Structure 1
Amino acid sequence: MSSEHTSPACSEAIIFHNTASRSPYVIVCEHASSFIPDEYNGLGLSPQAAKEHIGWDIHAMNMATIVAGLLDSPLISAPVSRLVADLNRPETCQECIPTRSETTSVPGNLSLTLHERENRLSRWHRPFHQGLSTFLEDRIARGIETFLVGIHSFTPVYAGVPRPWAAGVLYRASHLHGETVAQAMEKQSGALVGRNQPYDLWQHSNHTIPFHGDRRGLAAVIVEIRNDLLATAPGLTRWARITAQALQEGQTCPLPPDNTQAKTA
């Protein structure tokens, strides 16, 4: 691969921001948008339902944009709803094109033919991950240290069960990074920060961290913030600053000596 950097091209499946930066952080926001292309007829959902948390991570893109700005880092985002194709799930996983999200059925994803499923994957899922892979490999070839960070948000109540955490840090191989980031966020915020909560990456299907981070031996974590805490400008700014400062602390940790157990999606 050439040592010269060429900015990757954005497409309908992936959007790149600030790719020339040599910051060690690469921010990814797979659930940035609630957009459902017209040809999918809203997936049979009401416009209101599609804009709820089942369709995207509410406020996550705003959060990711501020964090990336504070760290002068590249930001890679997806411009389509997770209900069309969930880019943070392996394509072999049923949740990649979900027929149900929390308690809501997704009619447009029921009874998809193999051709229709393949069309979704080839149009949205594969181009996103191919683009992210190419970008990361280019950084590695140019000797740029990389700390891969997914930015997500979560709903305060899921399936009727309240969630006590203000935030969570998720990880597989990067235990030291994840724990350091979680401790720093907890100290700065004075709030409860979960470790592999509200989702445990060892138990839930996940793609970006194991596939793009762990298997390359990169430090890789997801930061989840409860979406009601991001609903105002002051709240959004506060949690973005907390996250950016915590990531700076986490970035100094050494990689664990052996990542092999976490190299599969």
Structure 2
Amino acid sequence: MTDAPCRFVGQPARGGIVAVCDHASNRVPEGVDLGVPPGTMDKHVAIDIGAAGVTERLARRHGIAAMLAEVSRLVIDLHREEESDGLVPTTSDGILIPGNIGADREKRLELYHRPYHAAMARWLDEAEPGLILSIHSFTPSLESAPAERPWEIGLLYNEDDRAARHAIRLFGELGVTVGDNEPYSGRQLNATMNRHAEAHGRPYCAIEVRNELIAHERGQARWAAIIADVAGRVKLALESG
């Protein structure tokens, strides 16, 4: 296992669709001791459950080249701005992360966060994609603040909702229970797409799938097929104006 902060699957077609997955891994690099209870690294606080499986299937079965993170969000959250309080979390959904108290943020930025985003910037500049998919998952209910999250899928966006609006409509037409900037808002949580999509005028869909639906291979295959279908039609809709 290397310390590379990301990996790539598939070769992007210039002007096509690509996918990124910021929370694909629960890997803790050698030399980092988070001090968390047993089983924590398999929870949603450490990894977006099922998101990597969906993203890999988009690449391997649907021709949507992908970039996947290789560092757990508990080591450093790659889907946060450098100055964010949650960049190196000391608690997450009520779980204490003692190894992050007093951690060297700058070292983790230099080792993981900055190389990850530099690699993404190069990859996207070369691909010049017509649509970016940002693939995440969400838990049906937080342990620290239980509340029903009935959506099967959510579309997040900040200022640029061009692609999201088409996707919300198209998922709805398929009978999917879809959230419009739910279960949380892309106006607060959209760091990677703000940086690599909105800042460059690139259309994107930031997609959150409820993790119980994609925890196993069958669900991952099903939702990858649904997302690939909708993404293709979103891209056509954008091109047709």
TM-score by length of 2: 0.92
- Give the secondary-structure state (helix, strand or coil) at the position aligned to 1:253: helix
| Counterpart Cα distance in 2 of 1:11 and 1:103 | 28
| Counterpart Cα distance in 1 of 2:83 and 2:190 | 11
Q: Which moved more, 1:56-65 or 1:236-245?
A: 236-245
Q: Contact 1:78 / 1:128 at 8 angstroms: preserved in 2?
A: yes
Q: Contact 2:50 / 2:216 at 8 angstroms: preserved in 1?
A: no
Alignment of 1:1-265 (within 5 A): 12-22=4-14, 24-41=16-33, 43-112=34-103, 116-140=104-128, 145-158=129-142, 159-188=145-174, 190-202=175-187, 204-254=188-238
C-alpha RMSD over aligned residues: 1.9
TM-score by length of 1: 0.84
Higher relative contact order (CA 8 A, sep 6+): 2
1:261 corresponding residue in structure 2: none
Tell me by how many angstroms 1:201 deviates. Answer: 1.0
| Counterpart Cα distance in 2 of 1:169 and 1:70 | 23
Q: Contact 2:53 / 2:217 at 8 angstroms: preserved in 1?
A: no
| Counterpart Cα distance in 2 of 1:66 and 1:23 | 20
Q: Which amino acid aligns with 2:79?
A: N
Q: Which amino acid aligns with 2:29?
A: P
Gaps of 5+ in 2: none
Q: Contact 1:70 / 1:244 at 8 angstroms: preserved in 2?
A: no
Q: Which amino acid aligns with 2:82?
A: E
String of CA shifts for 1:170-225, please: whole Å, max 9, x gaps: 1224313102112212222x2310011112011x2432111000111100121111
- Give the secondary-structure state (helix, strand or coil) at the position aligned to 1:38: coil
| Counterpart Cα distance in 1 of 2:171 and 2:12 | 28
Tell me by how many angstroms 1:96 deviates. Answer: 1.2
Gaps of 5+ in 1: 1-9, 258-265
| Counterpart Cα distance in 2 of 1:174 and 1:244 | 21
Q: Contact 1:149 / 1:221 at 8 angstroms: preserved in 2?
A: yes
Q: 1:22 to 1:138 in 2, by over 3 A?
A: closer
Q: Which amino acid aligns with 2:160?
A: S
Q: Contact 1:166 / 1:226 at 8 angstroms: preserved in 2?
A: yes
- Give the secondary-structure state (helix, strand or coil) at the position aligned to 1:148: strand
- Give the secondary-structure state (helix, strand or coil) at the position aligned to 2:218: helix
Aligned residues: 237
| Counterpart Cα distance in 2 of 1:235 and 1:105 | 31
